[in-house]
Amino acid sequence: MHTSFKLSDFDFTLPDDLIAQHPAAERSASRLLDGRAATPVDRRFTELPELLQPGDLLVLNDTKVVKARLFGQKSSGGRLELLIERVLSPTSEAGHEVAAHMKVSKKPLPGAVMQMDGGFTATLLGRWPNKDGPLYHFALSSDPYALMESHGHVPLPPYITHSDSLEDERRYQTVFAKNPGAVAAPTAALHFDEAVLARMQARGIRRASVTLHVGAGTFQPVKAENIADHVMHFERFEVPEATLQAIRNCKASGGRVVAIGTTSVRALESAAKFGPGCKDTNIFITPGFEFEVVDLLLTNFHLPKSTLMMLVSAFAGYEHIMALYQHAIAQRYRFFSYGDAMLLQKTTA
């Protein structure tokens, strides 16, 4: 599946000033690179409803970003930062358990109790999901979701250089966010506002949802030059039966499944391969992957040498994607989470 591509094949040079630090003035005011045909067309995002057809099915990720970044200090006084990746159990004998990333100068030992900003504690239990796991296992002194809401910060991506603000609380969240659990937004969906969604509906374009809780691993750099050696991160996902039925109806009537964002692609193609329901996926989509569900993809522009560059290359063709990215850079599109969008069609090659 990983064919002969190397990590360096997915590299490109991006001027720093094209990394969007703030969202567009209005959600749907971004640009849209129409990359469905060999020659790209520069459009506005508000044109999207007219580019789709009655009977097409939009599949949106309804995950909700939680304010997962928490600050505190060790008993020695050293500062630390936790990024809660997953709430493990609302209540247990040990307390309210979470799996988190920890940023600290010297790692504390299991049993250490951290005093967190906001007056609660976090007790380190060990690593997660096992003693060699990539995350840390903590017990918080009360309900994790309530603590994050009251004392947490929006977990902005590492390439956004400002501290989180009220603007980020509002705009680093989709208008249809429902199920809390993500530490990164499904960014292609950030462009939608109620007016665009209403125009979609009026045009006869249907809508369904999946849930994939985006993890911090989405920003994890790929280090292996042989991409087959990369260990993909796990994320929780759920594809409801109503969505599966909507997909069957769409396909049966000749409509197309339009995935809004790579997270929707990962959820849909994981369900097709491993079965639906609520579970974890570490699906790694690279050139050579056979897509079973998705026909069109709306996505933002991704980081060089990222797993998401590999995914879009698998979907629309490697050469085509690299040419689209060079066009986007030349035309000064805005990149990454708060950037512009691109519409792709599944390659038939």
Nearest alpha-carbon partner for 263 in 225, 222, 229, 294: 294
d(CA 319, CA 321) in angstroms, rounded, equals 6
If asked whether residues 237 and 252 sit together in one domain, one would say yes
Amino acid found at 319: E
pTM above 0.75, yes or no: yes
If asked whether residues 127 and 176 sit together in one domain, one would say no
Count Cα atoms within 13 angstroms, Cβ side, for 126.
7
Sheet harboring 341-345: ordered strands across? 41-44, 31-34, 341-345, 296-300, 257-260, 57-61, 206-212, 235-239, 277-281
Q: What are phi and psi of 120, to 5 degrees?
A: -110, 175
pLDDT in tens, 76-94: 899 999 999 999 975 555 5
If asked whether residues 220 and 279 sit together in one domain, one would say yes
If asked whether residues 285 and 304 sit together in one domain, one would say yes
If asked whether residues 88 and 232 sit together in one domain, one would say no
If asked whether residues 307 and 327 sit together in one domain, one would say yes
d(CA 12, CA 103) in angstroms, rounded, equals 29
If asked whether residues 180 and 311 sit together in one domain, one would say yes
In three-state secondary structure terms, 28 is helix
Count Cα atoms within 13 angstroms, Cβ side, for 145.
11
pLDDT in tens, 255-266: 999 999 999 999
What pLDDT is stored for residue 95 in this prediction?
63
Q: Could you say which of 102, 123, 151 is where a domain stops?
A: 151
**Range 30-43 average pLDDT:** 98
If asked whether residues 96 and 211 sit together in one domain, one would say no
d(CA 151, CA 164) in angstroms, rounded, equals 13
Exposure pattern of 290-305 as b/e (b: 16+ CB <10 Å)? ebebbbbbbbbbbbeb
306 assigned to some structural domain: yes
Tokens 């979701």 correspond to 145
Question: CA 143 from chain center: how many Å?
Answer: 25
If asked whether residues 263 and 278 sit together in one domain, one would say yes
Strand pairing category for 96-104 and 135-140: antiparallel
158 assigned to some structural domain: no
Q: Could you say which of 151, 178, 200 is where a domain stops?
A: 151
d(CA 20, CA 10) in angstroms, rounded, equals 21
d(CA 115, CA 77) in angstroms, rounded, equals 9
Q: Could you say which of 151, 185, 208 is where a domain stops?
A: 151
Structural domain containing residue 229 = 7-65+166-345
CATH number at residue 280: 3.40.1780.10
**Range 157-179 average pLDDT:** 96
If asked whether residues 124 and 195 sit together in one domain, one would say no
If asked whether residues 26 and 119 sit together in one domain, one would say no
**Of the listed ranges 27-36, 191-200, 217-226, 259-268, the one predicted with least confidence:** 217-226
175 assigned to some structural domain: yes
If asked whether residues 286 and 170 sit together in one domain, one would say yes
Domain count, the chain: 2
pLDDT at 2 over 50: no
1 assigned to some structural domain: no
Task: Tally helices (H) and strands (E) across the chain.
Answer: 8, 17
